[in-house]
Amino acid sequence: MSALPDASIEERFSAALHGSARIWRLALDKRLKHLGIGQAGWMTIAMVAKADAPMSQRALADLVGVEGPSMVSMLDRLERDGFVTRAASPTDRRVKLVHLTGTGRTVFDEVRKESGSVRGALLEGIDPQALAAATRLLETLRARIEDGL
C-alpha cells in the first residue's frame, strides 16, 4: 500500500526510503528514551564508538549529518554529562579529537543492544535475498551520492 498511488516508482521509492529511515530512527529513539539522550546524542556516541580512531569534530559532524556549530553544542552537552572528552590533535592543535569515556561506552552498549533488537524485529521474516538486494541498492545509491552523483 502506497501513500502516493499515482506516483512513479521512483517517487514512491524516494518517499519510502525517506519515510522508512525516519520512522526507523524514531522507533529506536523511543526505545532509548530512558537514557535521557536524544537521537543526535546517541547517534554521535555511536559514531565515536564505532570509529577506528578518535575523530575530529568536523569529521563527526559530517558523519552525523549536522553543521559544525551544532556538533560543537552536542559535544559540549555530551562532555558535560561525562560521555565524551575532547583533546587537541597531536598533529594539529587546532583540531579537537573526540574520545568516548567509560560512561559513554556503557551508553553505546545499550544503544547497540536496543538497535539490534529493533533491527531484528523490523527485519524478521524478510526474505534474505530481498534484504541483500535492497542492501546492495542502498549501498550503490550512497556511493553515487558520495561521488557527487
Give the C-alpha distances (Å, rounded to integers) separating 55 from 29, 48, 139. Answer: 24, 7, 23
What letter would DSSP give residue 124?
T
pLDDT tens-digit series, residues 87-111: 998 998 888 999 999 999 999 999 9
Enter the pTM of the model. Answer: 0.78
Is the pLDDT assigned to residue 20 strictly greater than 70?
yes
Task: Give the start-to-end residue ranges of the domains of the chain.
Answer: 11-146
Beta strands in the chain (DSSP E): 55-56, 84-88, 96-100
Average pLDDT across the chain, whole number: 91
- Span 11-146: which CATH code? 1.10.10.10
Is the pLDDT assigned to residue 140 strictly greater than 90?
yes
pLDDT tens-digit series, residues 25-52: 899 989 989 888 888 898 899 999 999 9
